[in-house]
Structure 1
Amino acid sequence: MQKYLGKLYYIIPICCLFPFFSAPLALFIGILLAIFYKGEEVVKTGKLTKYLLQASIVCMGFSMSVHDVVQTGKTGFMITVVSVAVTMVCGIILGRFLQVQKNTTMLISGGTAICGGSAIAAIAPVLGAKNNEISFSLAVIFVLNAVGLFIFPVIGHLLEMDQTHFGYWAAIAIHDTSSVVGACSAYGEQALQVGTTVKLTRTLWIIPLALCIAFFNKNKASKINIPWFIFLFVVAIIIGNYIPGMAETNDHLSWLGKKGMMVSLFFIGTSINMKEVKETGVNTFLLGIILWIIIAVLSYCWIRFVF
Structure 2
Amino acid sequence: MRLLPGIAVAAGGLALAYLAHLLLPAVPILTFCVLFGLILGQIPAAKPALDAALKPGLALAARRLLRIGIVLLGLSLSLVDIVDLGAPTLIAVVVVVALTFFGTLALGRLARLPGDQPLLIAAGFSICGISAIGAMSAVTRSKPSDIAVPAALVTLCGSLAIAVLPLLQAPLGFSNLQFGAWAGASVHDVGQVVAVAQTAGASALALAIAVKLTRVILLAPLVAGVGLYRRRTESGGPDAAVAARPPVVPLFVAGFLAAMLARTVLPVPEIALQTASVVQTVLFGLALVALGSSIRIGSLVRTSGRSLLVGLASWVLVAALAWVAVVLTTA
- TM-score normalised per structure 2: 0.66
CA contact (8 A) 1:24 1:183 kept: no
Gaps of 5+ in 1: 175-179, 241-245
CA contact (8 A) 2:117 2:150 kept: yes
Q: Whole-Å Cα distance in 2 between the matches of residues 32 and 89 of structure 1?
A: 28
Q: Which residue pairs with 2:74 in the alignment?
A: 58
- Residues 24 and 262 of structure 1: CA distance in aligned 2, closer, same or farther (over 3 Å): farther
CA contact (8 A) 1:136 1:280 kept: no
Amino acid at match of 2:106: V
Q: Whole-Å Cα distance in 1 between the matches of residues 13 and 29 of structure 2?
A: 12
Aligned residues with identical type, % of pairs? 11
Select the residue among 217, 222, 229 that pairs with 2:255: 229
CA contact (8 A) 1:61 1:234 kept: yes
Cα deviation, residue 300, structure 1: 1.7
Amino acid at match of 2:73: I
Alignment of 1:95-134 (within 5 A): 95=112, 100-101=113-114, 104=115, 107-114=116-123, 115-124=132-141, 134=143
Alignment of 1:137-148 (within 5 A): 137-148=146-157
Q: Which residue pairs with 1:91 in the alignment?
A: 108
- Residues 61 and 22 of structure 1: CA distance in aligned 2, closer, same or farther (over 3 Å): farther
User: Over residues 85-112 of structure 1, what are the superposed CA-to-partner deviations in whole Å (9 max), with x where a residue is unaligned?
Assistant: 22222222221xxxx55xx1xx111112
Q: Which residue pairs with 2:99 in the alignment?
A: 82
Q: Whole-Å Cα distance in 1 between the matches of residues 81 and 162 of structure 2?
A: 24
Select the residue among 156, 159, 167 that pairs with 2:168: 159
Select the residue among 252, 258, 270 that pairs with 1:251: 270
- Residues 146 and 296 of structure 1: CA distance in aligned 2, closer, same or farther (over 3 Å): closer
- Residues 228 and 195 of structure 1: CA distance in aligned 2, closer, same or farther (over 3 Å): same
SS of 1:223 mapped into structure 2: coil
Q: Which residue pairs with 1:186 in the alignment?
A: 195
Q: Whole-Å Cα distance in 2 between the matches of residues 303 and 236 of structure 1?
A: 30
Cα deviation, residue 137, structure 1: 1.4
- TM-score normalised per structure 1: 0.71
Gaps of 5+ in 2: 41-45, 124-131, 199-204, 327-331
1:204 aligns with 2:207: no
CA contact (8 A) 1:31 1:270 kept: yes
C-alpha RMSD of matched pairs (Å): 3.8
Cα deviation, residue 288, structure 1: 2.3
Q: Whole-Å Cα distance in 1 between the matches of residues 10 and 138 of structure 2?
A: 31
Q: Whole-Å Cα distance in 2 between the matches of residues 136 and 20 of structure 1?
A: 30
SS of 2:138 mapped into structure 1: helix
